[in-house]
C-alpha cells in the first residue's frame, strides 16, 4: 500500500512538472510571437510614419529664435543680458560653447543613441513597450532629445498619446530638416532649468556664475538632471532633490563609462548651489544705451574690454565709498591709438540709489574746472606767444569786473609758464587766454567734436580758463586724446563694428579722418609739462602726463591722464551738482586715475619724443619775444602784494549748499588780518577772533548773505542758497586747481 501510494505521488509530481513546462513553453512562444508581431508592427508603423511625415511641414522654430538680447565685449564675452519679451532668460548658445563632459553625460542619461537614430529611437520604443506589457506600468521612457526639442518648441507639456504622436512626427520631420548639431543646439537653448531660466548657458550663469564652457563634473551632472523636473529640482528651492537627481546622473555616467567611480565620488562631495546668482551687468549704462538705439538687434558687440571694465567698476565703487555718501564717480578709458573705448564706468554703482547710480556721468554736462588749462597754453605755444620757459606774472589782476584768484588765495610773483601749468595757477592761465581769445579756444574744441555749453547761452568768456563752460567727461577725454596723439584727435567709438571697419579701411590704405587740435610742437610742450605734474601721495611721478581740475563750489573733481597707449578720464562728485566741501581733483580724482592706470597694466607705453622744431632751451636762451609773456587787456591791482585781502573761501559765492535739519555750517575765510568779524544778513554772529573759521547754525532754507571783515576793515561778501537735496547743474568758474 505504501509503495503504491508512493509511486502514485511520484507520478503525479512528474505529470505536474511536465504540465508546468508545457505551459511555460506555450507562454514563451506566445510572448515571443507577441514580441515579434509587435516589433514587426513597430517597424511597419515607423516606416509608415516616416513616409507620412516626409510630406508634413517641420516644427515651427519661432520659439527658438526668441532669445535674450546680449551685449558683448571686444572678445565676445558677455557684458550684459536682457530677458526676452516674455520675461525669460534664454541666451544664445552653440554646441561648441558647452563643456564636452556635460554633453557626454547628457547623451548617456537622456539619449545614448542620439547620433544614430533619425529622431525616434525604435529600440527604445520597443523596450519601453515590452516593459509596459510585462510590468503593467511605465518602467522607462523612449523620448529622444529630438522629441524633447519638439515638445519645447510647442510649449505644451501634457502627457497623452496625441502629444507623444506629435512629438514623434515632429522629431522625424525636424531631423529631416536640421543636422544633429543644430538639433542639439536647440535643446541647449530651450531646455528648462527652473523659474524663468531656459537653456544651459543661462542656467550655468544663474547657478554657478560662469559660462558653461568649463564645468566641474558635479556641475555638469546637475545641469543634466534639472530639465527632467525643473521646478521640483530647482537647487535654490529644493537643494535636496537637486542633489539626489545629480547623484543619479553621476551613477549613470559611471555605468556608461563617461566618468570613473573616483570622479563620481569627488563630484558627489561638491556642494549644490542654494541661490541664484545675478546675471553679468558690466558697463550697464552704455549697454542700455546701445539696446535703446537698436532694440531689434539680438546681439551688440562693443569695444569694451570686460576685464578692464570690471576692474575699473570695482575701483570706482571702492573709492567713492571711502570719499563719502552721495558721491559718485565716472571713468572713461580709451585706447587712443585706435579711438576705441575699453572701459565706460558711468557711476559708482548702477543699482546704488543713494548715489544716483542710474545716471551716466560720462555723458553728463559738468564744469571741467582747470582741466582746460593745457589747451589754453597749447594755443599760446602754437601761436608763438609763449614757450614753457617764458616768464609770466602771477600777481593780482583785473579784466574789467573780473578778478581771477588762485586756488590757494596767494600770489607767486614771477614764474615760468611751465611752473604755472604744473601748479595749476589761475591768474597766468586767464592772462594767456585773454591773449589767445576764449572764442578761439571754444572754436578749436568744436572743431574736434567737443561741444561746449555756456550758462544761459552766453558767449565764451575768460571764465573758460577756470571751468566756466559745460563739457561731458567724454568730451574732455576726447580733447586729451589729442594731446596723447601729438595734436590729432581721433573719433572715439564704442561699437566693435565701427572699429573693425576702420581697421579694415586702414589695411586698404584708407586713413581715418583726424581733426587737428594743436600743432605737434605745441602738444609736446604741454605733455612735457604735464608728465612732471606733482603726483598724489605714495604715487610715482613721470609715468604718464596728467592734469587735475576742481569746479566752482567743489562740485566736480577731475583727473585726466595719458601715456603712449591709453587715455583715462576720471570725474568725482554728486550727480545732483550739490557742493561737497574739500572735494578737489588732486585729493579725490587723481588717486583714482593713478590706480586706474595700474589696474590696466603695470607697464606704461612711453610718450612720444620731441618733434622737429621743438626748442629745448632754458629761459635765458629764448628769443627776446619769448622771454616774458606780453600781457594785454589786464589791469594790475594796486595794494600790498604780500598781504592778501580777506576772502570767504567756503562757502563759495553763488553756491548752493545742501543742509540737513539741525546741521551746523562751517564758514571759512583766508587772508586778511585777524581778528575777523562775521555777519549773516548784516547781523554779526559769535566767532573766535583767533581763527579764520566759525561754526554757524542756519535757521532754514533760502538765500543768505555772508560777510567777513578783517582788522583793517577790508570786506568780502558772498551770497549762497541753503536748500534741501535736489537736482541742479551750474557751470561756473572755479577758484581751483
Catalytic residue ranges = 110, 370
311 closest CA partner among 535, 583, 602 = 602
Contacts of 567 (CB under 8 A, 6+ apart): 333, 334, 336, 477, 480, 481, 484, 560, 561
What interhelical angle do 520-530 and 373-382 show, nearest 10?
Answer: 140
Distance CA 35, CA 55 (A): 30
Distance CA 504, CA 531 (A): 34
Distance CA 347, CA 570 (A): 11
Please report the DSSP string for 493-505 in residue order. B-BHHHHHHHHHH
148 closest CA partner among 91, 186, 182, 179 = 186
Distance CA 653, CA 734 (A): 10
Phi-psi region of 149 (alpha: psi -120 to 50; beta: other; left: phi over 0): alpha
737 closest CA partner among 376, 464, 408 = 408
State the cell numbers at 151: 515638445
Residue with cell 585729493: 587
Question: Strand (E) positions, 210-339?
Answer: 299-301, 328-335
Distance CA 475, CA 492 (A): 10
Backbone φ, ψ for residue 399 (5° rounding): -110, 95
Peptide bond into 651 cis (omega under 30): yes
Looking at residue 545, what DSSP letter applies?
A: E
Distance CA 397, CA 427 (A): 8
CB pairs under 8 A, 24+ apart, for 414-419? 415/391, 416/388, 416/389, 416/390, 416/391, 416/392, 416/619, 417/377, 417/380, 417/386, 417/387, 417/388, 417/389, 417/390, 417/391, 417/392, 417/629, 418/388, 418/389, 418/529
566 and 333 Cβ atoms separated by less than 8 Å: yes
Distance CA 530, CA 536 (A): 14
Tell me the CB-side half-sphere exposure of residue 628, using CA atoms within 13 A: 6
Amino acid at each position: 500500500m505504501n509503495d503504491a501510494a508512493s509511486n502514485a505521488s511520484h507520478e503525479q509530481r512528474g505529470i505536474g512538472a511536465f504540465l508546468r513546462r508545457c505551459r511555460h513553453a506555450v507562454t514563451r512562444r506566445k510572448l515571443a510571437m507577441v514580441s515579434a508581431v509587435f516589433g514587426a508592427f513597430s517597424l511597419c508603423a515607423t516606416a509608415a510614419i516616416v513616409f507620412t511625415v516626409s510630406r508634413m511641414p517641420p516644427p515651427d522654430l519661432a520659439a527658438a529664435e526668441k532669445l535674450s538680447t546680449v551685449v558683448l565685449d571686444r572678445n565676445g564675452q558677455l557684458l550684459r543680458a536682457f530677458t526676452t519679451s516674455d520675461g525669460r532668460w534664454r541666451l544664445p548658445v552653440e554646441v561648441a560653447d558647452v563643456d564636452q563632459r556635460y554633453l557626454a553625460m547628457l547623451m548617456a542619461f537622456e539619449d545614448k543613441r542620439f547620433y544614430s537614430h533619425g529622431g525616434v529611437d525604435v529600440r527604445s520604443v520597443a523596450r519601453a513597450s515590452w516593459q509596459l506589457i510585462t510590468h503593467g506600468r511605465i518602467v522607462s521612457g523612449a523620448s529622444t532629445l529630438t522629441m524633447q526639442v519638439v515638445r519645447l518648441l510647442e510649449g505644451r507639456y501634457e502627457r497623452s498619446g496625441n502629444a507623444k504622436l506629435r512629438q514623434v512626427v515632429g522629431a522625424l520631420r525636424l531631423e529631416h530638416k536640421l543636422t544633429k548639431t543644430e538639433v542639439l543646439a536647440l535643446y541647449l537653448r530651450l531646455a528648462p532649468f527652473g523659474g524663468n531660466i531656459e537653456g544651459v548657458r543661462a542656467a550655468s550663469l544663474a547657478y554657478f556664475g560662469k559660462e558653461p564652457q568649463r564645468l566641474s563634473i558635479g556641475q555638469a551632472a546637475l545641469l543634466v538632471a534639472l530639465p527632467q523636473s525643473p521646478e521640483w529640482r530647482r537647487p535654490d528651492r529644493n537643494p535636496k532633490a537637486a542633489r539626489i537627481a545629480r547623484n543619479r546622473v553621476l551613477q549613470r555616467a559611471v555605468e556608461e563609462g563617461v566618468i570613473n567611480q573616483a570622479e563620481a565620488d569627488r563630484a558627489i562631495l561638491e556642494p549644490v548651489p542654494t541661490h541664484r546668482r545675478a546675471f553679468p551687468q558690466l558697463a550697464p549704462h552704455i549697454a542700455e544705451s546701445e539696446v535703446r538705439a537698436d532694440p531689434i538687434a539680438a546681439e551688440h558687440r562693443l569695444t569694451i574690454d570686460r576685464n578692464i571694465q570690471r576692474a575699473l567698476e570695482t575701483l570706482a565703487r571702492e573709492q567713492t565709498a571711502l570719499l563719502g555718501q552721495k558721491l559718485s564717480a565716472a571713468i572713461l578709458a580709451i585706447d587712443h591709438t585706435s579711438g576705441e573705448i575699453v572701459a565706460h564706468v558711468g557711476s559708482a554703482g548702477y543699482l546704488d540709489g543713494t548715489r544716483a547710480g542710474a545716471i551716466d556721468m560720462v555723458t553728463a554736462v559738468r564744469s571741467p574746472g582747470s582741466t582746460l588749462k593745457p589747451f589754453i597754453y597749447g594755443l599760446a605755444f602754437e601761436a608763438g606767444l609763449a614757450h614753457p620757459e617764458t616768464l609770466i606774472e602771477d600777481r593780482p589782476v583785473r579784466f574789467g569786473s573780473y578778478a581771477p584768484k588762485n586756488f590757494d588765495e596767494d600770489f607767486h610773483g614771477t614764474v615760468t609758464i611751465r611752473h604755472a601749468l604744473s601748479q595749476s595757477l589761475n591768474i597766468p592761465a586767464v592772462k594767456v587766454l585773454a591773449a589767445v581769445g576764449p572764442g578761439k579756444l571754444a572754436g578749436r574744441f568744436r572743431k574736434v567734436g567737443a561741444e561746449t555749453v555756456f550758462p544761459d547761452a552766453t558767449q565764451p568768456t575768460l571764465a573758460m580758463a577756470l571751468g566756466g563752460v559745460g563739457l561731458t567727461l567724454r568730451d574732455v577725454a576726447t580733447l586729451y586724446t589729442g594731446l596723447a596723439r601729438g595734436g590729432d584727435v581721433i573719433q572715439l567709438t564704442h561699437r566693435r563694428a565701427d572699429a573693425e571697419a576702420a581697421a579694415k579701411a586702414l589695411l586698404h590704405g584708407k586713413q581715418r579722418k583726424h581733426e587737428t587740435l594743436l600743432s605737434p610742437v605745441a602738444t609736446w610742450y604741454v605733455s612735457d609739462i604735464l608728465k612732471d605734474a606733482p603726483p598724489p601721495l605714495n604715487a610715482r611721478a613721470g609715468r604718464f602726463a596728467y592734469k587735475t581740475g576742481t569746479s566752482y563750489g567743489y562740485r566736480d573733481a577731475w583727473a585726466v591722464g595719458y601715456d603712449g597707449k591709453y587715455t583715462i578720464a576720471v570725474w568725482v562728485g554728486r550727480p545732483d551738482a550739490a557742493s561737497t566741501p574739500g572735494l578737489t581733483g588732486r585729493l579725490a580724482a587723481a588717486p583714482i586715475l593713478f590706480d586706474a592706470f595700474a589696474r590696466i597694466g603695470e607697464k606704461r607705453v612711453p610718450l612720444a619724443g620731441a618733434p622737429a622744431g621743438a626748442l629745448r632751451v632754458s629761459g635765458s636762451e629764448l628769443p627776446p619775444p619769448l622771454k616774458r609773456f606780453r600781457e594785454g587787456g589786464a589791469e594790475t591791482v594796486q595794494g600790498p602784494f604780500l598781504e592778501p585781502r580777506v576772502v570767504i573761501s567756503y562757502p563759495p559765492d553763488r553756491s548752493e549748499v545742501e543742509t540737513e535739519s539741525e546741521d551746523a555750517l562751517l564758514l571759512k575765510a583766508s587772508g586778511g588780518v585777524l581778528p575777523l568779524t562775521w555777519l549773516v544778513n548784516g547781523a554779526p554772529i559769535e566767532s573766535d577772533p583767533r581763527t579764520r573759521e566759525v561754526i554757524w547754525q542756519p535757521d532754514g532754507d533760502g538765500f543768505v548773505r555772508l560777510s567777513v571783515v578783517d582788522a583793517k576793515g577790508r570786506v568780502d561778501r558772498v551770497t549762497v542758497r541753503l536748500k534741501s537735496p535736489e537736482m541742479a547743474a551750474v557751470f561756473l568758474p572755479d577758484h581751483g586747481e
